[in-house]
Structure 1
């Protein structure tokens, strides 16, 4: 099964690092924690900045949150970093045979299910704040 991109999970990771880091949280530090290329981190940071979730200190480097953890939901993060065409998460084949009894109706039938699944995911993400994740991280780390 094909997976969605990892931008969302990396962005959540980055935001938690920014909050929990005792010092300036640089792109190289974040890349090491995520175990990815710093270019990927810079791209995600740019998207988070554009969405108004973080800002970056020029020169010395380091990122900081622009909102409290309670004010940032997983939906905010998802909307900031995921690329969705025309508001739809799932793609569907564009031109099935209109003369086929299945083909002429498949897009409509399948699209409603896909929209319902996307809506359920977005509703769930809207209910979860970064505060909840940071709290759970603390519990798992014994702090």
Structure 2
């Protein structure tokens, strides 16, 4: 099973933009850092633009944050790229003739919902600025080793 990396890739893009120092950031340059293709970066950028998280002129390498990094939450970013998709997923392809197979999904679904609510609240408390601050903290820590 392949896990989605959209959230981390999108945060990577946003950090690139936030720390870009007015540098011309093409989708090709960002894609090299993420180790992906420029079309994927453009797709994520379009999603961020539609969500009001970034502003840019199509066809130009001039993306900027639409608001300050301390006003953009991880929840905003997650919902922009993943929509209403939850973090945890039930296996909906179980045997309907098996009492455990069908009913276990209902049982764990309640807990998944509870976990999702906790995760949503935590993501709402983490801003892009928090991630940038942690990024700089990690760099300082590595330099001191």
Please classify the TM superposition score into its range, dividing by the shorter chain length. 0.7 to 0.9
Aligned counterpart for 1:133 among listed residues 125, 131, 134: 131
Match of 2:80 in 1: 80
Change in CA separation of 1:83 and 1:91 when aligned onto 2, cut-off 3 Å: farther
Question: Unpaired runs of 5+ in structure 2?
Answer: none
TM-score, length-scaled by structure 1? 0.84
Match of 2:109 in 1: 111
Shifted more, 34-43 versus 132-141: the winner is: 132-141
RMSD over aligned Cα atoms: 2.3
Match of 1:7 in 2: 6
Change in CA separation of 1:104 and 1:41 when aligned onto 2, cut-off 3 Å: closer
Matched, 1:46 2:55: no
Residues 88 and 115, structure 1, Cα contact 8 Å, conserved in 2? no
Question: Unpaired runs of 5+ in structure 1?
Answer: none
How many aligned residue pairs are there? 140
Shifted more, 6-15 versus 131-140: the winner is: 131-140
Residues 11 and 44, structure 1, Cα contact 8 Å, conserved in 2? yes
Shifted more, 113-122 versus 99-108: the winner is: 99-108
TM-score, length-scaled by structure 2? 0.83
